[in-house]
Amino acid sequence: MELGRRDLLLTAAALLAAPTIGRAQAAGDRKLGYAIVGLGYYGLNVILPQFANCEHSRVTALVSGDRAKALATAARYGVPERSIYSYETFDQIRDNPDVDVVYVILPNSMHAEYTIRAAKAGKHVMCEKPMAVSVAECEAMIAACKTAGRKLMIGYRCHFEPFNLEAMRLARSGAAGKVRYVVSEHGFVQRDPSKWRLKKALAGGGSLMDMGVYSLQAARYMTGEEPVAVTARESTDRSDPRFTEVEDMIAWTLNFPSGAIATCQSMYSANQNHVLLMGDRGRIELEPATRYDGNRLWTGRDGREQEVTAPPAGPGKTQFAGQLDHMAVSLRTGAEPIVSGEEGLRDLRIVEAIYRSARDGRTITL
Ligand code: NAD
């Protein structure tokens, strides 16, 4: 059933990618308005410039604790001053008809609060990964959006990234044969001990809550299966001032119903960005796999290696525009986003099991 559901999701993504459908839906409709909550690195430098690549989405409000930064950003993106909010005045966003979707780009432990406040203000929500820092928070977020009749989507941009989409399509089409294993590893060297990512209260955990989400997501979307068991080990130098509160490196294996095994890692002490799927006929490999750009894809079958240089275009001009517009199109059509709150919840259930397995030194059945 799960394989069937995932195939449907891929089909839905492919349909939304079709430019004719996008244009038909856009005809005569205004672009959907996003409020960006949090003008940090990702919100300011990555997401905001991407509205220029969107067909169905525009930025209409900003939420920031830094008024001067918000004013300068508003001037740059044509957001009126009346649509600038602080964290204290955020709930007034309910009275702003130009805001359809609130995009939460805050430290992880703030995702639940702002998602729930946005839903109560009658807005749809796009929330960054990880969806939240616990299963309980994810469930509360889903419940709040459901009660308010609003949609919830997680910022899983790789589901809109052309090389990742092509890798998923190839895996599903049997290009590598029967899947035997996946290796999925993501990390970067986190140098500054003062970063919120290294504070348990704000990040919820260490590398697993950050790059580990990419490793976990890729293991799930490459196999197209849900794991039935997880076994994890952690390696952290607690005398290192960066890692007094959260883990550095964590490695885990996932067992899938088909017999496939995923070996995953995340770390804050090495730069790695790699996904490999091995089947009984060949391989599908992404390296770098999940970067903002410059990702590369190879396939190998029956001894023939080949780089996939030009995969079919994704559902937007960039993965980010594809993600933003997907929410807009979902709202117009009434369809669930392909990466909904339930998808974020699935990951957090596994994340909690990974931590439990590493702590207790035993395999956790999911
Ligand atoms: P950042 O530190 O650059 O920005 C965080 C923002 O939150 C800042 O504007 C900061 O002022 C604000 N903030 C409000 N209250 C805060 C508090 N108590 N402590 C610290 N900051 C506070 O972080 P970022 O890299 O932009 O990450 C934000 C979120 O986006 C995270 O959940 C992260 O996982 C996610 N993210 C996703 C991607 C992706 O590729 N999908 C990439 C980067 C970050």
- How many domains does the structure of the chain reveal? 2
- DSSP assignment of 157-187, as one string? GGGG-HHHHHHHHHHHTTTT-SEEEEEEEEE
Which of the residues 103, 214, 268, 355 is marked catalytic?
214
Same domain, 92 and 234: no
Task: State which of 48, 128, 159, 199 you would mutate to test the pocket of ligand 1, scoring each by most atoms of that ligand within 8 A of its C-beta.
Answer: 128
Same domain, 13 and 151: yes
Q: Which two tokens stand for residue 191?
A: 């140098």
Task: Judge if the beta carbon of residue 345 lies within 6 A of ligand 1.
Answer: no
Same domain, 203 and 147: no
Same domain, 179 and 264: yes
What tens digit of pLDDT does each residue of 62-117 get?
999 999 999 999 999 999 999 999 999 999 999 999 999 999 999 999 999 999 99
Residue 302 — pLDDT band, cuts 50, 70, 90?
A: confident
Same domain, 227 and 198: yes
**Which of 25-29, 243-247, 316-320 has maximum average pLDDT?**
243-247
- How many Cα atoms sit within 13 Å of 94 on the Cβ side? 13
Tell me how far the alpha carbon of residue 74 lies from the centroid of ligand 1, in angstroms: 19
Same domain, 253 and 178: yes
* Helix ranges restricted to H, the chain: 2-17, 19-26, 67-77, 111-120, 135-148, 162-172, 200-203, 212-223, 319-333, 341-360
Task: Judge if the beta carbon of residue 282 lies within 6 A of ligand 1.
Answer: no
What tens digit of pLDDT does each residue of 48-73 get?
999 999 999 999 999 999 999 999 99
Return d(Cα 259, Cα 267) in angstroms, integer: 26
What tens digit of pLDDT does each residue of 151-165 get?
999 999 999 999 999
Same domain, 15 and 135: yes
Task: Judge if the beta carbon of residue 326 lies within 6 A of ligand 1.
Answer: no
Which pLDDT belongs to residue 29?
Answer: 64
> Is 214 among the residues known to form the active site?
yes
User: Mean pLDDT lowest for which of 10-24, 25-39, 260-274?
Assistant: 10-24
Same domain, 66 and 166: no
Same domain, 326 and 259: no
pTM: 0.93
**Beta-strand pair 297-301/152-154:** unpaired
Same domain, 150 and 79: yes
Cα dist from 135 to 57, 139, 266, whole Å = 30, 6, 20
Closest protein CA for atom 35 of ligand 1: 128
Residue 6 has pLDDT above 70, yes or no: no
Q: What is the CATH number of the domain that holds 209?
A: 3.30.360.10
Residue 1 has pLDDT above 70, yes or no: no
What tens digit of pLDDT does each residue of 179-234 get?
999 999 999 999 999 999 999 999 999 999 999 999 999 999 999 999 999 999 99
Which pLDDT belongs to residue 23?
Answer: 37
Q: What is the CATH number of the domain that holds 16?
A: 3.40.50.720
Q: Which domain holds residue 286?
A: 159-313+346-365
Ligand 1 atom having least distance to the Cα of 210: 34
Same domain, 128 and 265: no
Same domain, 135 and 41: yes
Percent of the chain at pLDDT exceeding 70: 92
Task: Judge if the beta carbon of residue 188 lies within 6 A of ligand 1.
Answer: no
Tell me how far the alpha carbon of residue 180 lies from the centroid of ligand 1, in angstroms: 36
Return d(Cα 111, Cα 114) in angstroms, integer: 6
Q: Mean pLDDT for the chain?
A: 92
